[in-house]
Structure 1
Amino acid sequence: MDNINPNDIESIQVLKDAAAAAIYGSRAANGVVLITTKKGKSGKPQITFNSYVGVSQAAKKLDVLSAEEWAERAAEIINDNWVRSGPGRTASQTTAERQAILKVNNIVPAQMIDERWFQPGHPGLQYIDWQDEAFRTGRTQSYQVGASGATDNVNYFISGNYTDQQGMMVGLGYKRYSARANVEVKASNKLRFGLNVTPTYSVTNDPGIEGKDNRLHQLVSMAPIVEDTAGVASGYGKNEVYRWGVSTASPVRVMENAIGETKTFRTLSTLYAEYEVISGLRLRSSINFDNNDVTSKSYNPAVRDLPTSQASGSYSGFRRQTFVNENTATYTRVFGEKHDLTALAGYAYNISRIDNVRLGATGGFVNNQVTTLNAATNINGTGSNNTTESQNVLISYFGRLQYSYAGKYLLSTSIRRDGSSRFGGQNQFGVFPAASVGWRISQEEFMKNITPLSDLKLRASIGLSGNNSIGDYNSIATLGIYNYTFGGALATGQAPNRVENPELQWERNRTIDFGVDVGFFQNRIFGSFDYYTKTSKDLLLNVPINTASGFGNNLVNIGEVENRGWEVELTTNNLNNALEWTTSLNFSHNQNEVKHLGPGDATIEVASVADLPSNVLQVGKPMYSIFVIRQNGILSQADIDNGAALYNNQTAGDPRYEDANGDGKIDANDRVIVGQPNPKYTWGITNTFKYKGFDLSFLVQGQNGGYIYSMFGRAIDRTSVGYQENALGRSRDRWRSEEDPGDGVKGKATARFGFIKNTDWLYSSDYYRVRNITLGYDLGRIISKSVMQGARVYVTAENFFGKDKYYGGFNPDAVNTDNGSTFTSGVDYGGLPLAKSLVLGLNVTF
C-alpha cells in the first residue's frame, strides 16, 4: 500500500468468501484485498488536483514518575543500599557523614543521595520531562496532480504525487515521490493491450525509535533530572551528564545526531494484451515486474552512552526482483436468457530473486558530519558484514467455473495447483479446490408479496488454500560462517546452520462460510451475517529439538489450529431528504484454538528474545497464549511466617506470586496461561451526514477481549533496575511499609529481583477510538462549471478522542521488532503512540 497513492485508487474490495479467494492460491492464505486503480472515462479529459496539509502530535504520553517522585523513589533505594552495606549506617546520615564512614572524598551515587533533591529550588539541577523534549508537532503536506480521459481507442490515467511528513518525534521523517501511468489501447475490435507503470521513491528517517532497548525505551526510562550546566559531553549540547542517571547522554541529543535513513526505489509495472478469439472467448496474457531497491544507513554517535564509547555505523543494500507471467482464457456466454456461464483457465509463473549486502563498522568517526563507513577505523567481522542471495519460484495452474440461473441460483467452483520451490522435492505441489453456492430467495415468486423485503440471499462456501510463507531454503541444510579455535588460533569455516527437512510441505487452510444478505425498504436497510470456521493443518512452525543435534529448533509441519467466528455488517439510510444520514456498522467475533500439536500434543514454548518465553502453544488454548506467573497481591511478613511460596529470597513488600504447581517455591514451572493476544471482538461504526453541500462523517472503532504483554513496561518498571532509571507512574502507589502498603499491587522500590515474567505487566488491549472526524463542503455549489467541474474542501481530525486500558506502553495495537525479528503476537517492546492529526485538504477537478 505504501507504493499506491490513495488518490489513484478507484475501489477496494475485500474477498471474504472462501471460494472467491481460493483462485488466488497461496497469496490468499491471509485473505485477499483487491485494489483497482483509476482509468480514464469517456467524455471531456479531466485534470485533478488534490492537496492536504496537516499537523500531528502524540495522542498519548506514557505516565512515568515526575522528577520529584523519581527523587523520592531513588532516595528510598539508595538509603536502603546504604543501611544494608554495613553496621551503624542509617538513612538519616548526610553525604558528608557517609563519606567519612567510607573514608572517601568523592560521591558514591549508589550509597549517597543528591541532597539538592530536597533543597528549595533544587540548585544546580534542572527537572525535565523527556517526553516533552522528544515529542514535537509533526507536519505533513501532500500534493497530487492527475489527468485522465478516453477516446474510442485510447484510455489513459496519469498522476504524480509528492508527500512530506515530519514525524511527531525528533528524528522521524518520511518523503515520497510517486507517479502512475495507466494506458490501454484498443488496436482493433478484437485486440487491446495496456501498460501500467508505478515508480515510487521514498526516504524514511528513523534513528531506531521503536523496539527492544531502542530510543523510545531510553527516553522514558531516563532519570528526569539533569545538571543545569553542560557536562563532559559538552559537544552535544546542554544537560548531558547526571551522576545519578543511567546514562551520560541526553536521549534527545542522541536522536538528533543518530542516523537511520532508508531509501526505497520501487517500480511496479504491468504489460498486458487481450484478444477476443470468438464471441465470448477472451485470451489474456500479462507480464508483471516488481523491482524493489532499498538502501539503509545507520549511524550511532559516541555520545549515545559514554563520552569514551565508540561511534558505530552500518550500511545495507537490498534488492528484490519479482517477475510474474499470467495467461488466462475466459469464456462467457448466456444461454436462453437465464443461463449465465463463465469459465476461466489459466497458468502463472512467478520467480523472485533477492540480493542482500550488509556492512558494519565501529571507531573512528571523528565527528558527526562524516558518517560514511570509510571514516571508521574498524570493519566488523563476518557476523556483521555479509552478502546473501536467494531465489524462489511459484508455478500455478488454475481454473474456475461460475454459473447463474435467472440471477437466483448461483454456483462457483475453482481449483488451483501451486508448486513452490521452498518445499522438499516430493512436496512442492499442492492442490486447492473451492466451491460456493448462493440462493437469492427474494427473486422467488412466493417472496414477491413481501413488500418490505427488497433482497434476501443465502450463501455457503468451502475452500482450501495453501501457505508457503517461509524462507527460500528452509527445507535444506544451508551453510553458515562460524569461528572456532584450533590450538589457540582462531579459524573461520562453514557448517550447516539449520536441520534439513525434505518432508516440509504446504500449510493447508480449509475455510467454511455460511452467510445471509438481507435488505429492506429498497435496501435502505441492508445487512449481512457470516459464520465461518477456518482450520489450518500442517502448520509451519519452529519447534524446539534436542540440543544434542547442535541446533535449538527446527521448522516442521506440525499441528492444527481452528479459527471460528461471525461477522455482522449493517448499513442504514436513516434520512434521505434535504438532510441525508447514513450509518454503517460492523461487529465481529473470532475465537482461536489450538486443536493438535503433533504426536503427544506436547506444549510448545515460543522462544523469546528476553528471558523466559512468555507465549505458548497448548492444545485447547488460543495460539500464542500469554504464559507467565500470576501475581496475587503483595507479600506481608505474616505471609512469609506462614510459609508462603517465595521467589528466591523475597521479603515483605515484594510481589506475592501464585504457586501454581504447589511445590512450595516460585519458579518458571509456575507459569500459567493468563490471556490471549488477539481480541475476541472488534467493531466499528460510521455516521455520515450531508446537507446543502456540507458533509460530516465520523468513525468510531474498538476492540475487546484481548491482552497485551508489555515487555516495554517490564524493561522500565521491573524491580532491581535500581535508582538510575525512571519507573511507570503506578510506582506512586508502591508498598513502602506494612503501615503504608500502597494499592496492594505495586511492590516496594527496593526489591532485588524481578526478572521473572509475571502478570505485573499484563494489560487489557481493549480500547475505543474516534478514528476520524471529517467536515467537508462542496465548493461546486458556489463555483461555476465553466471554471472547474468540481471542488471540495475538508478538514479531518484523527485519533483526537479515545480510551484504552494499556498503561504499560503507548499503543495497545503496537507491533514492533527487535533487530528485524517480529515479536510474538500480543507483546509490545516499545511501539510509538498513535498520532492525533488535524488535516486541511482540497480536491479540485477541471
Structure 2
Amino acid sequence: MAFGFTLLVSGVAIGQMRTITGTVTENNQPLKGVSVFQEGSNEVAVTNASGVYRVQVSGENPIIIYRHPDYPERKITLGSRITVNISLGKEKEIEEVVLNAGYYKVKDKERTGSIAKISAKDIENQPVTNILASAQGRMAGVSITQNSGTAGGGFDVQIRGKNSLRPEGNYPLYIVDGVPLNSQSNALTSLSVGILSKGEASPLNSINPNDIESMEVLKDADATAIYGSRGANGVVIITTKKGSFRKASLEFTMNTTISKVNQFIEMANTSQYLQLRKDAFKNDNISAYPVTAYDLNGKWNQSREIDWYKTFIGDTFLSQQQQLSYSGGNSQNQYHLGIHHQEQGTAFGNGMGYKRSGFNLSNTYSTEDRKLKISPTIYYTVQDNTLNDADLTRQILLAPNAPVLYNPNGQLNWENNTFANPLAKLENKYSSKIKTLTSNMNVDYQVFEDWSLKLNAGYTLTEQNESRLNPSTAFNPSTGANSSTSMRYDGVVVRDSWIIEPQLHWNKKWTHHKLSALAGMTVEERKDRILRLQGNDFSSNDLIGNLSNAKVQKVLDDNEVQYRYNAFFGRFNYDYSGKYIVNLTARRDGSSRFGPQKRFANFGAVGAAWIFSKESFLENTSWLNFGKLRMSLGTAGSDLIGDYQFMDTYTTTTQIYDGVSGIYPSRLFNPNFSWEKTTKMETALELGLFKDKVNLTVAYYQNRSSNQLVGLPLAATTGFLTVQSNFPAKVQNAGAEAELNVNLIRKKDFRWSVAANLTVPRTKLLEFENIESTSYATMYEVGRSMNIKKVYELKGVNPDTGVYEFSDLNGDGKIDLNDRIKVVDIGMKFFGGLSSQINYKNWSFAFLIQGVKQRQYSLDYSISLLGIMSNVPSYMLDYWTPENRDARYQRPGTGTNSDVTRAHSLYQSSDAVIVDASFIRLNNVQLSYKIPLKEGLIRDLTLQAQAQNLFTITGYKGLDPEVAGFYLPSIKSYSLSATLKF
C-alpha cells in the first residue's frame, strides 16, 4: 500500500511538472540575458544569444515572469501551453530611483529631505583607493578635499559647511551597511604627522570602491534628524554590493594603473639660484663667503644642474588591482562574495607603497511566504602602508647644484661632510597596518499585513599597528652615531564597537491616503585601547625591528577609552493622493561624553512636500511632467568633543619625587557640559521637464549651530588655562545649491546625458559673547565669515631699502601684533561639477569636470627666507635689487639682517600669502567597450580605459591648489581594466 501510494503521488507530481521552451525577442531580434522563471519558484533560466530559454514549471496554471534590466517586466499566464514566444516591446523608461535614508527607503520623487546619491556606475574601476576621491565634484553641497596625494591619507569632508568652531567637531557620520564607522582618523597623529597631511588616514580607506553599490549623503534636517546628534554634520550612507535575483555568475576584473605627480611649479635653475645667493650676501655686506656656504665657496660644483622635483617625487609608479566576485540567487536566496587585492606604488619610489586586501560576503534569505528576511554581511580588509618617516616633497627646495645622492660605489654621498643627504631619510621607516572587520545583521519579520519588526545589529573591530624606525644609519657617519642612538616608536590602537537597533514599522494605505511610521532605539558602545611605546639603545641596527631588543624601553601612553550612546527615535509619514507629503522625525539621544544631568537631549524635524504637477490644473501640461516644492526645519546635535571632557582628570607626571612618579590635575569637572545644537532649514524646488528629459533642483539652506563646545579661559590663579564648557556662540552656514540633469538623446542604441551641480556656500559667526577675552579673538570676528584670517596688510617693497613695508592699521606709529587686524576671506566661494555620459551600442564614454572658486595660502607661506641656502620657485626671482627697485619680493638675505628677517616673518602672516587658488580639473575620463561574445564560458568581456586628474587649469602658483603646504601634490593616473563575466 505504501509503495502504491508513493507511485500515485509521484505520478501526480510528474504530471504537474512541465518543461517550457520559447524565444524572447525585441523588434524581431533575439534578446540575450532575459531571466525567465515561474512566480514563487527558485529555478531561473536565462536566454542565450539566440533568445532561447528552457525552464521547468509546476502547477495547473502557473505564471511565468520575464525580466531584463532594460525592458519592462512581463508576466504570462501559461495555461496548458508548453511553448511561449514573446517580445518585450518598448525599452523601459527611466527607472524610479529609490534612496536609502538610513532607517527607511524612499522614492526619489516622494522624499521631503535633501539626499544626494552616486551609484556603482559612477565610481567603479576608477584608479583611486577611496570612494571620496571618486565623489569629488559629483554632489551639490558636499565639499571633498584631498589632504595629500599619498595613498592611505585623509580627506576633508564638509556637508554644507562647518557647524563647529573646532575642526574636530565637523566630521560627518559614516554608516556602512547599517554600522557606524569611526568618523575620525584611524592614525595616531603623533606617529603619522609629517608623513600624512594633518596626520590623518581616512576611515573609508578600508572600503574598496569597487565593492560599493551606492553612496547616499543626507544633508538637511528632515534627512538627518532621525540620526539625532550623530547627524549634525551630515550623514554618509554606504551600501556594499549584494546578491541579485539571477543565475549565478562569476566576474573577474583586472586593473593596471600608471601614475605620476602633477607639477604646477617651476624651480629656479642653477645660474638663477646662485645669483640669488650672491645678491643675498651682497645685500648683507658680506664679501667673503662663509665656510658653510658650500654652494658658493667652491665646495660644490657650480655648474651642476639637478631637477630635485623629478628626483624626489617625479617617479612614475605602477598600481595593480584584481577583483573576483561571485553572485546570484533566486526569489528566496541571494548571495554575493567579493575578493579584492590592490597594490599601489608611490612617487617616492624605493619600494614604498600601499596595499589593501579583503573580502565582502553577503546573503539575503527570505522564507517562502516572504514574512521573514535575514541579511547578514561581513566586510574585512587589511591595509599595509609603508613609507619613509617624512614626506620628501619639501626636498625639492634643495640647491640645484647640491651634490649627487650616491657615490660611484653606490653608498650615500655626504660630500666630505658638507651635505646632509636627504636620502638618508629613507632609512627612517614608517609603517602602518590596519585590520578592519565590519559585520552586520538585518532581520525583517512581517508580523501582520501592515506591521513588521526589524533589527539592525552590527560589530566593528579596527586594529591599527604603527611604527617609526629611526636607525643611526640615517645620520652622517662622521657624527659618530651608532646603534645605541637608534630609536623605535610603536603605537597600537584597537577600536571595537557594537550597535543594536530594534525597530517597529507600520504601513497603511487606503483610497488616497498612505501612512507609514517607525519607532526604534539605538544602543551603541565603543572602546578604544591605545598603547604607545618607545625603545632606544640597540646593540645592532639589525635588531631594531623588534622592540624587545632595545635596552631602554618606555611606555609613552597606555589608555582605555569607553564611549556609550543610546537613543530612541521615530518617524511618521503621511501621503495624501501622492500630492501632499508630511514627514516627522524625532530622536532622544544620550551620550556618555556629558555631565550626569546633561547627557540626554531631544532632536527632531518636520519636512513637507507638495507635488504640484499632480494638480488638475497642471496634469495636462505638455512641458511639465514633475514639479515639487519641499521644505524642512529641525534640529540636530553634536557630541564630537572627545571622551571624559566634563570630568576631573589626572595625568601622570614625568617628574620623580622621592623615587615615585606623581599625578597632577589636568582637567576640571563641569557637570553642565552638554550638547552643541544645530538648527537646519531648507527650501527646494524640483522640476521634471519635457518628459523627464530635463530635471532641475534648486535649494536654499540655512544651518545655525549654537551652544558651542569650547574651552573657556580661566584666571591663572586657578591653575588651569581653560575649562571645557558650552559657549553661547552661534555659527551660521547658508547657501544655494543647484543640480541639473539633461537626457539629450535617449534611443535604443544611442544615449547621451549631461549632469551639472553648483554650490554657493556662505558662513558667518553670528554671536560670540566677549570674544575679545578668548583665544578665538585672533581667528574669528562676529559678523564675519568663519573662513577669515586676521593678517597684516602688505604695502609693498620699499624701493629705497628693499624691505617689505606694512600698514600701521591701528595708527600707533609701529608695526606689531596689534596691526594684525586686516580681515581676509579664505576658503571656497563656490564649487561644482559637470559630467556627461555617452552610450552607443557597446561603447560608453564619460567624463567629469570639477571646479572650485577659492582663496588659499600660497607657497610663499611655507618657504623660508629668500636668499638662504634653499631653492625657490622661479616666480620668486622677481626680488629687489638696486636695478630692480619695483620688485614683488623684498631683497634676499642670509639671515643676519634682523630687519629683513622680521619683515619676512610679517610677510608670511600678511594678506600677500592668501591668494586665488581657484581651479578647473578634468577629474575623470573613461572609455569602455563591451565585446560581443557568442555563447560560451565567457558571457561578457568589457575593456575600459580611464584617466584620473588628467589636467588642471589654474592660476595658482604652488604645488597644488587643492593640497595645502609641502605635501605630495595630487596624482595623475592612466588605467586599463578588463572585466570578464562567466
Shorter-normalised TM-score: what interval? 0.7 to 0.9
The 10-residue stretch of structure 1 (442-451 or 181-190) with the greater mean CA deviation from structure 2: 181-190
* 3-state SS in 1 of match to 2:541: coil
Name the counterpart of 1:777.
929
Name the counterpart of 2:532.
358
Q: For the residues of structure 2 that align with 1:230 and 1:162, how far apart are their CA atoms?
A: 35
Residues 362 and 224 (structure 1), Cα distance of their counterparts in 2 relative to 1, 3 Å cut: farther
Q: For the residues of structure 1 that align with 2:412 and 2:375, how far apart are their CA atoms?
A: 60
Q: 2:447, 2:453 within 8 Å by CA — same for their partners in 1? A: yes
Name the counterpart of 1:281.
451
- Measure how far apart 1:377 and its partner are: 4.4
Q: 2:253, 2:324 within 8 Å by CA — same for their partners in 1? A: yes
Superposed, which structure 2 residues align to 1:258-657 within 5 Å? 258-302=428-472, 304=474, 306-307=476-477, 308=479, 310-336=485-511, 338-364=512-538, 366-367=540-541, 370-379=544-553, 385-484=556-655, 492-558=661-727, 559-577=729-747, 578-598=749-769, 600-602=770-772, 604-605=774-775, 616-637=779-800, 652-657=801-806
Name the counterpart of 1:764.
916
Q: For the residues of structure 2 that align with 1:112 and 1:194, how far apart are their CA atoms?
A: 68
The 10-residue stretch of structure 1 (293-302 or 6-15) with the greater mean CA deviation from structure 2: 6-15
- Measure how far apart 1:543 and its partner are: 4.8
- Measure how far apart 1:279 and its partner are: 0.8
Q: Aligned match of 1:185 in 323, 347, 365?
A: 365
Name the counterpart of 1:164.
343
- Measure how far apart 1:594 and its partner are: 0.3
- Measure how far apart 1:563 and its partner are: 0.6
Q: For the residues of structure 1 that align with 2:335 and 2:558, how far apart are their CA atoms?
A: 42
Residues 282 and 267 (structure 1), Cα distance of their counterparts in 2 relative to 1, 3 Å cut: same
- Measure how far apart 1:770 and its partner are: 0.5
Q: For the residues of structure 2 that align with 1:587 and 1:228, how far apart are their CA atoms?
A: 49
Q: 2:945, 2:975 within 8 Å by CA — same for their partners in 1? A: yes
Taking only aligned residues, the RMSD between alpha carbons, in angstroms, comes to 2.6
Q: 2:712, 2:722 within 8 Å by CA — same for their partners in 1? A: yes
The one-letter amino acid of 1:320's match is R
Q: For the residues of structure 1 that align with 2:771 and 2:404, how far apart are their CA atoms?
A: 61
Q: Aligned match of 1:143 in 313, 319, 322?
A: 322
Q: 1:763, 1:807 within 8 Å by CA — same for their partners in 2? A: no
Residues 228 and 344 (structure 1), Cα distance of their counterparts in 2 relative to 1, 3 Å cut: closer
Q: For the residues of structure 1 that align with 2:975 and 2:596, how far apart are their CA atoms?
A: 54
Establish whether residue 76 from structure 1 lines up as the match of residue 252 from structure 2.
Answer: no
The 10-residue stretch of structure 1 (54-63 or 158-167) with the greater mean CA deviation from structure 2: 54-63
Q: 1:109, 1:243 within 8 Å by CA — same for their partners in 2? A: no
Q: For the residues of structure 2 that align with 1:457 and 1:581, how far apart are their CA atoms?
A: 25
* 3-state SS in 2 of match to 1:278: coil
TM-score, reference length from structure 2? 0.74
1:75-102 Cα shifts (integer Å, max 9, x gaps)? 2334455x35xxxxxx3x6x7xxxxxxx
* 3-state SS in 2 of match to 1:19: helix
Name the counterpart of 2:17.
none
Superposed, which structure 2 residues align to 1:192-211 within 5 Å? 192-210=373-391
State the percentage of identical aligned residues. 26
Establish whether residue 40 from structure 1 lines up as the match of residue 243 from structure 2.
Answer: yes
Q: For the residues of structure 2 that align with 1:312 and 1:129, how far apart are their CA atoms?
A: 32
1:700-743 Cα shifts (integer Å, max 9, x gaps)? 11111x32235x64342335xx6222233333111122x32253
- Measure how far apart 1:61 and its partner are: 4.9
Name the counterpart of 2:191.
none
Name the counterpart of 1:221.
397
Q: For the residues of structure 2 that align with 1:774 and 1:112, how far apart are their CA atoms?
A: 48
- Measure how far apart 1:435 and its partner are: 0.6
Name the counterpart of 2:354.
174
- Measure how far apart 1:582 and its partner are: 1.1
Superposed, which structure 2 residues align to 1:82-101 within 5 Å? 83=285, 91=287
Q: For the residues of structure 1 that align with 2:857 and 2:247, how far apart are their CA atoms?
A: 57
Q: For the residues of structure 1 that align with 2:571 and 2:865, how far apart are their CA atoms?
A: 57
- Measure how far apart 1:832 and its partner are: 1.8
Residues 357 and 185 (structure 1), Cα distance of their counterparts in 2 relative to 1, 3 Å cut: same
* 3-state SS in 1 of match to 2:447: strand
The one-letter amino acid of 1:65's match is A
Q: For the residues of structure 2 that align with 1:60 and 1:330, how far apart are their CA atoms?
A: 55
Name the counterpart of 2:956.
806
- Measure how far apart 1:671 and its partner are: 1.1
Q: For the residues of structure 2 that align with 1:422 and 1:507, how far apart are their CA atoms?
A: 12
The one-letter amino acid of 1:717's match is S
Establish whether residue 743 from structure 1 lines up as the match of residue 887 from structure 2.
Answer: yes
- Measure how far apart 1:225 and its partner are: 2.6
Q: For the residues of structure 2 that align with 1:27 and 1:229, how far apart are their CA atoms?
A: 51
Q: For the residues of structure 1 that align with 2:823 and 2:476, how far apart are their CA atoms?
A: 40
Name the counterpart of 1:842.
978
Q: 1:179, 1:198 within 8 Å by CA — same for their partners in 2? A: yes
Superposed, which structure 2 residues align to 1:209-248 within 5 Å? 209-210=390-391, 215-217=392-394, 219-227=395-403, 237-241=411-415, 248=419
Q: 1:734, 1:749 within 8 Å by CA — same for their partners in 2? A: no
- Measure how far apart 1:329 and its partner are: 0.4
Point out where structure 2 has 5 or more consecutive residues left out of the alignment: 1-203, 895-899
Name the counterpart of 1:132.
310
Name the counterpart of 2:226.
23
1:501-544 Cα shifts (integer Å, max 9, x gaps)? 22211110111000010011111011100001000011223454
Residues 228 and 333 (structure 1), Cα distance of their counterparts in 2 relative to 1, 3 Å cut: closer
The 10-residue stretch of structure 1 (168-177 or 457-466) with the greater mean CA deviation from structure 2: 168-177
Establish whether residue 790 from structure 1 lines up as the match of residue 937 from structure 2.
Answer: no
Q: 2:295, 2:399 within 8 Å by CA — same for their partners in 1? A: no
Q: 2:787, 2:827 within 8 Å by CA — same for their partners in 1? A: no
Residues 812 and 116 (structure 1), Cα distance of their counterparts in 2 relative to 1, 3 Å cut: same
Q: For the residues of structure 1 that align with 2:736 and 2:773, how far apart are their CA atoms?
A: 28
Name the counterpart of 2:180.
none
Q: For the residues of structure 2 that align with 1:112 and 1:254, how far apart are their CA atoms?
A: 22
Residues 156 and 430 (structure 1), Cα distance of their counterparts in 2 relative to 1, 3 Å cut: same
Name the counterpart of 1:100.
none
* 3-state SS in 2 of match to 1:471: coil
Q: For the residues of structure 2 that align with 1:153 and 1:449, how far apart are their CA atoms?
A: 42
Q: 2:260, 2:316 within 8 Å by CA — same for their partners in 1? A: yes
Q: 1:78, 1:110 within 8 Å by CA — same for their partners in 2? A: no
The one-letter amino acid of 2:336's match is F
Establish whether residue 2 from structure 1 lines up as the match of residue 205 from structure 2.
Answer: yes
Name the counterpart of 1:817.
none
Q: For the residues of structure 2 that align with 1:351 and 1:155, how far apart are their CA atoms?
A: 31
Residues 792 and 269 (structure 1), Cα distance of their counterparts in 2 relative to 1, 3 Å cut: same
Q: For the residues of structure 2 that align with 1:674 and 1:303, how far apart are their CA atoms?
A: 48
- Measure how far apart 1:242 and its partner are: 7.2
Residues 675 and 603 (structure 1), Cα distance of their counterparts in 2 relative to 1, 3 Å cut: farther
Superposed, which structure 2 residues align to 1:656-675 within 5 Å? 656-675=805-824
Structure 1: which 4+ aligned runs deviate by more than 6 Å?
none
Point out where structure 1 has 5 or more consecutive residues left out of the alignment: 85-90, 96-106, 607-612, 638-651, 815-827
Q: For the residues of structure 1 that align with 2:746 and 2:406, how far apart are their CA atoms?
A: 67
The 10-residue stretch of structure 1 (628-637 or 353-362) with the greater mean CA deviation from structure 2: 628-637
* 3-state SS in 1 of match to 2:469: strand
Residues 207 and 326 (structure 1), Cα distance of their counterparts in 2 relative to 1, 3 Å cut: same
Name the counterpart of 2:23.
none
1:571-624 Cα shifts (integer Å, max 9, x gaps)? 1112234543211000110100001113x3437545xxxxxx9x6021111224
Q: How many residues align?
A: 761
Q: For the residues of structure 2 that align with 1:572 and 1:691, how far apart are their CA atoms?
A: 17
Q: For the residues of structure 1 that align with 2:811 and 2:886, how far apart are their CA atoms?
A: 28
